[in-house]
Protein backbone atom coordinates (compact mmCIF):
# COMPACT_ATOMS: atom_id res chain seq x y z
CA UNK A 1 0.00 0.00 0.00
CA UNK A 2 1.50 3.31 -1.13
CA UNK A 3 0.60 6.68 0.39
CA UNK A 4 1.51 9.94 -1.31
CA UNK A 5 0.81 13.39 0.16
CA UNK A 6 1.41 16.62 -1.70
CA UNK A 7 0.67 20.32 -1.42
CA UNK A 8 0.07 22.48 -4.52
CA UNK A 9 -1.25 25.87 -5.59
CA UNK A 10 -4.59 26.01 -7.40
CA UNK A 11 -4.59 27.64 -10.87
CA UNK A 12 -8.34 28.10 -11.17
CA UNK A 13 -10.05 31.39 -11.98
CA UNK A 14 -12.32 32.12 -9.03
CA UNK A 15 -15.46 32.29 -11.18
CA UNK A 16 -14.89 28.72 -12.34
CA UNK A 17 -13.81 27.34 -9.01
CA UNK A 18 -16.97 25.51 -7.97
CA UNK A 19 -17.39 23.95 -11.39
CA UNK A 20 -13.75 22.88 -11.63
CA UNK A 21 -13.73 21.41 -8.12
CA UNK A 22 -16.90 19.47 -8.95
CA UNK A 23 -15.27 18.12 -12.12
CA UNK A 24 -12.18 17.04 -10.19
CA UNK A 25 -14.35 15.35 -7.61
CA UNK A 26 -16.43 13.44 -10.18
CA UNK A 27 -13.35 12.12 -12.00
CA UNK A 28 -11.61 11.28 -8.73
CA UNK A 29 -14.50 9.29 -7.33
CA UNK A 30 -14.88 7.30 -10.55
CA UNK A 31 -11.20 6.60 -11.11
CA UNK A 32 -10.27 6.08 -7.47
CA UNK A 33 -13.11 3.61 -6.96
CA UNK A 34 -11.98 1.64 -9.97
CA UNK A 35 -8.36 1.58 -8.82
CA UNK A 36 -8.92 1.02 -5.11
CA UNK A 37 -7.58 4.44 -4.12
CA UNK A 38 -8.80 6.32 -1.05
CA UNK A 39 -7.76 9.60 0.55
CA UNK A 40 -8.73 13.19 0.97
CA UNK A 41 -8.34 16.57 -0.67
CA UNK A 42 -8.13 19.71 1.44
CA UNK A 43 -8.99 22.91 -0.41
CA UNK A 44 -8.15 26.43 0.75
CA UNK A 45 -8.00 29.67 -1.25
CA UNK A 46 -4.23 29.30 -1.64
CA UNK A 47 -3.52 25.57 -1.53
CA UNK A 48 -4.58 22.06 -2.31
CA UNK A 49 -3.31 19.33 0.01
CA UNK A 50 -4.08 15.76 -0.94
CA UNK A 51 -3.41 12.31 0.48
CA UNK A 52 -3.74 9.34 -1.89
CA UNK A 53 -3.46 5.77 -0.66
CA UNK A 54 -3.83 2.46 -2.45
CA UNK A 55 -2.01 -0.13 -4.55
CA UNK A 56 1.41 1.20 -5.56
CA UNK A 57 0.93 1.10 -9.36
CA UNK A 58 -2.52 2.67 -9.11
CA UNK A 59 -1.37 5.55 -6.90
CA UNK A 60 1.64 6.16 -9.15
CA UNK A 61 -0.59 6.23 -12.24
CA UNK A 62 -3.06 8.70 -10.76
CA UNK A 63 -0.20 10.79 -9.40
CA UNK A 64 1.24 11.01 -12.94
CA UNK A 65 -2.07 12.50 -14.13
CA UNK A 66 -2.22 14.85 -11.16
CA UNK A 67 1.34 16.07 -11.74
CA UNK A 68 0.44 16.91 -15.36
CA UNK A 69 -2.86 18.61 -14.48
CA UNK A 70 -2.91 22.33 -15.41
CA UNK A 71 -5.53 23.10 -12.76
CA UNK A 72 -2.76 23.44 -10.19
CA UNK A 73 0.96 24.17 -10.08
CA UNK A 74 4.01 24.13 -7.78
CA UNK A 75 3.14 20.57 -6.75
CA UNK A 76 5.39 19.54 -3.87
CA UNK A 77 5.30 15.90 -2.74
CA UNK A 78 5.76 16.06 1.01
CA UNK A 79 5.57 12.36 1.73
CA UNK A 80 5.78 9.02 -0.07
CA UNK A 81 5.41 6.03 2.24
CA UNK A 82 4.76 2.34 2.08
CA UNK A 83 2.19 1.57 4.78
CA UNK A 84 0.42 -1.62 5.69
CA UNK A 85 -2.98 -0.14 6.19
CA UNK A 86 -5.15 2.69 5.01
CA UNK A 87 -5.80 5.79 6.99
CA UNK A 88 -8.99 6.72 5.15
CA UNK A 89 -10.46 3.37 4.16
CA UNK A 90 -13.96 4.71 3.49
CA UNK A 91 -13.16 7.87 1.54
CA UNK A 92 -12.78 7.53 -2.23
CA UNK A 93 -11.70 11.17 -2.23
CA UNK A 94 -13.38 13.19 0.48
CA UNK A 95 -13.05 16.91 -0.10
CA UNK A 96 -12.69 19.35 2.74
CA UNK A 97 -13.08 23.02 2.14
CA UNK A 98 -11.36 25.31 4.55
CA UNK A 99 -14.71 26.58 5.82
CA UNK A 100 -15.82 23.10 6.87
CA UNK A 101 -13.26 22.88 9.63
CA UNK A 102 -12.34 26.53 10.03
CA UNK A 103 -8.92 26.40 11.57
CA UNK A 104 -6.75 29.48 11.61
CA UNK A 105 -3.59 27.39 11.64
CA UNK A 106 -4.40 25.53 8.43
CA UNK A 107 -3.17 28.03 5.83
CA UNK A 108 0.13 28.76 7.62
CA UNK A 109 0.68 25.02 8.05
CA UNK A 110 0.14 24.32 4.34
CA UNK A 111 2.40 27.25 3.46
CA UNK A 112 5.11 25.82 5.71
CA UNK A 113 4.74 22.33 4.26
CA UNK A 114 4.83 23.74 0.75
CA UNK A 115 7.99 25.74 1.22
CA UNK A 116 10.00 23.84 3.83
CA UNK A 117 8.70 20.26 3.94
CA UNK A 118 10.09 20.11 7.46
CA UNK A 119 9.52 17.28 9.92
CA UNK A 120 7.74 19.52 12.40
CA UNK A 121 5.24 20.68 9.78
CA UNK A 122 4.69 17.07 8.70
CA UNK A 123 3.90 16.04 12.27
CA UNK A 124 1.37 18.87 12.53
CA UNK A 125 -0.09 17.82 9.19
CA UNK A 126 -0.49 14.27 10.55
CA UNK A 127 -2.33 15.59 13.58
CA UNK A 128 -4.58 17.65 11.32
CA UNK A 129 -5.39 14.54 9.24
CA UNK A 130 -6.28 12.66 12.43
CA UNK A 131 -8.49 15.54 13.53
CA UNK A 132 -10.27 15.60 10.20
CA UNK A 133 -10.78 11.85 10.30
CA UNK A 134 -12.20 12.01 13.79
CA UNK A 135 -14.22 15.16 13.25
CA UNK A 136 -17.91 15.22 12.65
CA UNK A 137 -17.37 16.64 9.17
CA UNK A 138 -19.25 14.50 6.71
CA UNK A 139 -16.82 13.47 4.02
CA UNK A 140 -18.24 14.59 0.71
CA UNK A 141 -17.45 11.34 -1.07
C1 LIG B 1 -5.96 18.96 -6.94
C2 LIG B 1 -6.33 17.81 -7.83
C3 LIG B 1 -6.62 16.58 -7.26
C4 LIG B 1 -6.97 15.50 -8.06
N5 LIG B 1 -7.24 14.29 -7.47
C6 LIG B 1 -7.52 13.21 -8.25
C7 LIG B 1 -7.77 11.94 -7.67
O8 LIG B 1 -7.75 11.75 -6.45
N9 LIG B 1 -8.04 10.92 -8.51
C10 LIG B 1 -8.09 11.06 -9.86
O11 LIG B 1 -8.34 10.09 -10.57
N12 LIG B 1 -7.87 12.26 -10.44
C13 LIG B 1 -7.60 13.35 -9.66
N14 LIG B 1 -7.40 14.56 -10.24
C15 LIG B 1 -7.61 14.69 -11.71
C16 LIG B 1 -6.40 14.19 -12.49
O17 LIG B 1 -5.40 15.19 -12.51
C18 LIG B 1 -6.80 13.81 -13.94
O19 LIG B 1 -7.40 14.90 -14.58
C20 LIG B 1 -7.76 12.63 -13.99
O21 LIG B 1 -7.35 11.59 -13.14
C22 LIG B 1 -7.88 12.07 -15.41
O23 LIG B 1 -6.64 11.57 -15.82
P24 LIG B 1 -6.03 11.85 -17.29
O25 LIG B 1 -6.06 13.34 -17.45
O26 LIG B 1 -4.64 11.27 -17.28
O27 LIG B 1 -6.98 11.15 -18.23
C28 LIG B 1 -7.04 15.65 -9.47
C29 LIG B 1 -6.73 16.90 -10.03
C30 LIG B 1 -6.38 17.98 -9.23
C31 LIG B 1 -6.06 19.30 -9.86
CATH number for the region 2-134 comes to: 3.30.70.100
- CB 32 less than 6 A from any atom of ligand 1: yes
**Is the predicted pLDDT of residue 136 greater than 70, yes or no?**
no
* Residue boundaries of the structural domains of the chain: 2-134
Q: What is the pLDDT of residues 40-73, one digit of tens each?
A: 999 988 899 999 999 999 999 999 999 999 999 9
Mutate to test the pocket of ligand 1, among 24, 54, 94 (most ligand atoms within 8 A of CB): 24
Q: Are 39 and 91 in contact (CB under 8 A)?
A: yes
Q: Which of 73-77, 114-118, 129-133 has the highest mean pLDDT?
A: 73-77
Tell me the HSE value of 133 on the side-chain side, using a 13 A CA sphere: 16
- 141 CA distance to ligand 1 middle (Å): 15
Range 15-33 average pLDDT: 94
Q: What is the overall mean pLDDT for the chain?
A: 89
Whole-prediction pTM: 0.92
54: CA distance to ligand 1 center in Å?
15
Amino acid sequence: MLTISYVSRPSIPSLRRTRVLDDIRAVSIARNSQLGITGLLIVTAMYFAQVLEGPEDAVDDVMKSILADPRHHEIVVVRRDIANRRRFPLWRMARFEHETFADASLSPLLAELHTKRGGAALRRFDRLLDDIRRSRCEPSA
